[in-house]
Amino acid sequence: MSGTNATRIRRRFGVAALAAASFLGATALSGCDPVPPGRYVALGDSYVAGPLIPDQTTDPLGCLRSTNNWPHLVQPRIGTTELVDVSCSGATIDDLYSAQDVTPGPANPAQLDALDSGTTVVTLGIGGNDIGFSDLVKSCGTSWPWEDGCKDDYVSGGVDEVSNRIAAVAPRLDQAIKDIKLRAPNAWVYVVGYPTVLPETGNGCYPLVPVLPSDVGWLRDKVHELNAMIQQVAADNYVAFIDLATPSIGHDFCSSDRWVEGLVPLSTAAPVHPNAEGMAAFADVIAARVHKPQP
């Protein structure tokens, strides 16, 4: 073989190899790989579990876990062979590690115990109960427009107690994600944020939802802060964050097309929690992010 021909062959091989490498790299970065078969484990709190939405499971009943929550709607669409949904209403990050007492019992086992090497997809939606968000919104509800708002109960001397709670959750959430990756080393991990609960603009819809206009903007900011913290911790751990806040703008508890109920639910769902329409909409968002069709 002449030197000229050998050089041409090497060049052609090099170009072909570079093209193949570029294709494989682009495919990996595009996220178009099919979801690996195996177990999908859903971890989280009531925004995952779906309290009061029919039908409620009995394993245990006290978790108020719906068969129409978004994990149950996502699983058949992403190609995993099994769903293990251990989400539970009232769960905090501590309940990932230890059994959670619920009424009626028995206790919900430590959620991380559901993970193993056969787990191929994990979703995690948690942190709201660690800062007491649902209770916060309920405590800010008032029947009397001339009463003081609730912001001053949490903000004093320029110190925002709820912002401090959010900051304190960050290292605990960070450790939880690390432990998920250790216990499920073969899994794709997705951290799911919270939806838009309060109107994205304006001062609310008092008295339909009796949160004073003076409190709406502050409460809205706390949801933004919580989601921003969760997104940052996910990024720090190189796992995907799924944003539910943006697609749910306009579907807050003041909307006629609400995905989250107000303090007095207008459908079968818990106050200040997703309803069945919300769960279906969130399932669309999550399934599209977890499983993208081959190009």
Catalytic residues, by residue number, are 46, 273
Helical residues (DSSP H) of the chain, grouped into ranges: 3-30, 46-49, 70-78, 133-140, 151-154, 161-183, 213-236, 276-290
Q: What is the phi/psi pair of residue 284, to 5°?
A: -60, -45
100 and 108 in contact (C-beta within 8 Å)?
A: yes
Q: What is the C-alpha to C-alpha distance for residues 250 and 261, in angstroms, rounded to an integer?
A: 13
Give just the sign of the alpha carbon dihedral 244, 249, 250, 253: positive
130 and 92 in contact (C-beta within 8 Å)?
A: yes
DSSP state of 269: S
Estimate the share of the chain in helix, then strand, then coil, as percent rounded to the nearest 5: 45, 15, 45
List, as one string, the DSSP characters of 4-34.
HHHHHHHHHHHHHHHHHHHHHHHHHHHT-SP
